[in-house]
Amino acid sequence: MHCEVLKVLMLDRHQPLHFIGVGGIGMSALAGILAERGFRVSGSDRRDTPVLQRLRSKGVQVFLEQVAATIATVCDGSGTDAASPSSVPGAPLPVVVISSAVPDTNPELVEARRRGLQVVHRSDVLAALINAQPSIAVAGSHGKTTTSTLIATLLAAVDHDPTAVIGGIVPAFGSNGRHGEGRLLVAEADESDGSLVKFAPHLGVLTNVELDHTDHYPNLEALIDTLQRFASASTRLLANWDDPVLREHFQPHCWWSIETSTGVDFAALAQEEHGEGTVADFYENGELMGRFALPLPGRHNLSNATAAMAACRLEGVPFTALQEAVAALRPPGRRFDCRGLWQGRIVVDDYAHHPSEVAATLRTARLMVQSGRSPLPVPPQRLVAVFQPHRYSRTAQFLKGFAEALSEADMALVAPLYSAGEAPIEGISSRALAEAVRALRPELTVEVADDLDALARLVQLHTEEGDLVLAMGAGDVNGLWERLAGLGHRDPAPALVA
Q: Which of 273, 300, 326 is the endpoint of a domain?
A: 326
Q: Which of 124, 158, 193 is the endpoint of a domain?
A: 124
Q: Are residues 396 and 466 in the same domain?
A: yes
- DSSP 8-state secondary structure symbol assigned to residue 318: -
Confidence of residue 485 (pLDDT cuts 50, 70, 90): confident
Question: pLDDT, tens digit, for every residue of 58-85?
Answer: 999 999 999 999 999 999 874 444 334 4
Question: pLDDT, tens digit, for every residue of 195-238?
Answer: 999 999 999 999 999 999 888 999 999 999 999 999 999 999 99
pLDDT score, position 214: 87
| Positive/negative CA dihedral, 75, 78, 80, 81 | positive
Residue 177: give its domain's CATH number.
Answer: 3.40.1190.10
**Please, are residues 187 and 119 in contact by the beta-carbon 8 Å criterion?**
no
**Residue 6 covered by a domain:** no
Catalytic residue status for 198:
no
Q: Are residues 22 and 150 in the same domain?
A: no
Let me know the angle formed at the C-alpha of 22 by 16 and 27, rounded to the nearest 5 degrees.
90
The CA-to-CA distance between both ends of the chain, in Å, stands at 38
**Residue 398 covered by a domain:** yes
pLDDT score, position 494: 66
Catalytically annotated residue among 73, 108, 111, 144: 144
Q: Are residues 204 and 87 in the same domain?
A: no
- DSSP 8-state secondary structure symbol assigned to residue 347: E
**Residue 454 covered by a domain:** yes
Q: Are residues 106 and 170 in the same domain?
A: no
248 exposure class (CB count in 10 Å sphere: 0-12, 13-18, 19+): exposed
Count of the separate structural domains present in the chain: 3
Helix (H) or strand (E) holding 355: helix 355-371
In the sheet that 203-206 helps form, which strands lie side by side, from edge to edge?
Answer: 175-178, 163-170, 185-188, 135-139, 203-206, 236-240, 254-257, 266-274, 277-284, 287-294
Q: Are residues 110 and 204 in the same domain?
A: no
Q: Are residues 180 and 233 in the same domain?
A: yes
Q: Are residues 253 and 364 in the same domain?
A: no
Catalytically annotated residue among 73, 145, 306, 463: 145
pLDDT score, position 4: 39
Return d(Cα 108, Cα 67) in angstroms, integer: 5
In 104-215, which residue ranges form alpha helices assigned H by DSSP?
107-114, 122-130, 144-157
Reply yes or no on whether the pLDDT at 283 is more than 90: yes
277: left (phi over 0), alpha (psi -120 to 50) or beta: left
Residue 24: give its domain's CATH number.
Answer: 3.40.50.720
Catalytic residue status for 144:
yes
Torsion of CA 58, 183, 144, 249, to 10 degrees: 150
**Residue 279 covered by a domain:** yes
Question: pLDDT, tens digit, for every residue of 392-425?
Answer: 999 999 999 999 999 999 999 999 999 998 999 9
CB neighbourhood size of 254 (10 A): 20
356 phi/psi in degrees, rounded to 5 = -65, -40
Return d(Cα 10, Cα 8) in angstroms, integer: 6
- DSSP 8-state secondary structure symbol assigned to residue 135: E
Return d(Cα 104, Cα 95) in angstroms, integer: 17
- DSSP 8-state secondary structure symbol assigned to residue 349: E
pLDDT score, position 492: 79
Q: Are residues 163 and 253 in the same domain?
A: yes
CA diameter of the chain: 73
Return d(Cα 108, Cα 110) in angstroms, integer: 5
Domain limits for position 119: 17-124
Catalytic residue status for 357:
no
**Residue 10 covered by a domain:** no
Mean pLDDT calculated for residue range 301-323: 98
Q: Which of 300, 326, 352 is the endpoint of a domain?
A: 326
Q: Are residues 209 and 296 in the same domain?
A: yes
Catalytically annotated residue among 188, 191, 357, 408: 188
**Please, are residues 3 and 119 in contact by the beta-carbon 8 Å criterion?**
yes
Residue 341: give its domain's CATH number.
Answer: 3.90.190.20
**Residue 457 covered by a domain:** yes
Reply yes or no on whether the pLDDT at 16 is more than 70: yes
Reply yes or no on whether the pLDDT at 5 is more than 80: no
SS3 of 69, please? helix
Q: Are residues 476 and 356 in the same domain?
A: yes
Return d(Cα 220, Cα 212) in angstroms, integer: 8
Return d(Cα 46, Cα 56) in angstroms, integer: 15
Q: Are residues 113 and 151 in the same domain?
A: no
Q: Are residues 120 and 144 in the same domain?
A: no
**Residue 170 covered by a domain:** yes
